[in-house]
Chains A and B, each alone.
Chain A
């Protein structure tokens, strides 16, 4: 099973709302990632968690708040977003195995901020 599951698939929210994106994997991977992707652009890394600890924050605004409650679950809490935050949010996980390190991606959450 190489599946990374993201919920919800679509989300529409107002600028004053609070919502959360969820990501789950059961591959035993100890690194998990959040990416943001705008239309016709490559994914941009937002956060990396390694062994449930935040290891990279790519200078993301504080209105995005990641959380890794356990080794299988990664959340992204959203508050007071702006219309320009509308994008596809991708979650990924990885584990190094014998020198091979592959990231597996979820299908993404399409977020629209009104």
Chain B
């Protein structure tokens, strides 16, 4: 059974700092890995998706890397801002179900607070 863990569970940093969030998974035979952001009481916003054949993806100040062999992904946030405060979740997809549906396994999440 795929298990996904995230370290740290919570993180508080001053504004402007660069930071790294970690995600590890037990089954390396993944189809893709997705990073989400969730604001309190809200839905999930997809940030980056990395296919199993890719090593990294970038969007603005965000950079996500994937090392399938070691079962790890990192989300790098450059020059953090108070608006980045949220919970960050990684999720892995093992395979595509018949008909196009898919089953994501979510990590435990990292709650980030960026302080002024």
Contacts and interface: CB of A to CB of B under 8 A. Distances in A.
Contact of A106 (B34, B43, B107, B109): B43
A45 B42 contact: no
Contact of A43 (B49, B102, B106): B106
A33 B101 CA distance: 9
Q: Which of B34, B44, B45, B49 has the most CB of A within 10 A?
A: B44
Interface string B79-99: 000000000010001001111
Interface string A50-67: 110101100000000000
B55 interface: no
A31 B97 CA distance: 10
Given A100-B51, A102-B34, A45 B104 contact: yes
- Majority SS of interface residues in chain A? strand
A48 B109 contact: no
Interface in B22-56: 31-32, 34, 36, 41-46, 49, 51
A56 B97 contact: yes
A103 interface: yes
Interface of B: 31-32, 34, 36, 41-46, 49, 51, 89, 93, 96-104, 106-109, 111
16 contacts: A30-B99, A31-B102, A33-B101, A40-B109, A42-B106, A42-B107, A45-B104, A51-B99, A90-B44, A94-B102, A100-B49, A101-B100, A101-B102, A102-B49, A103-B102, A105-B36
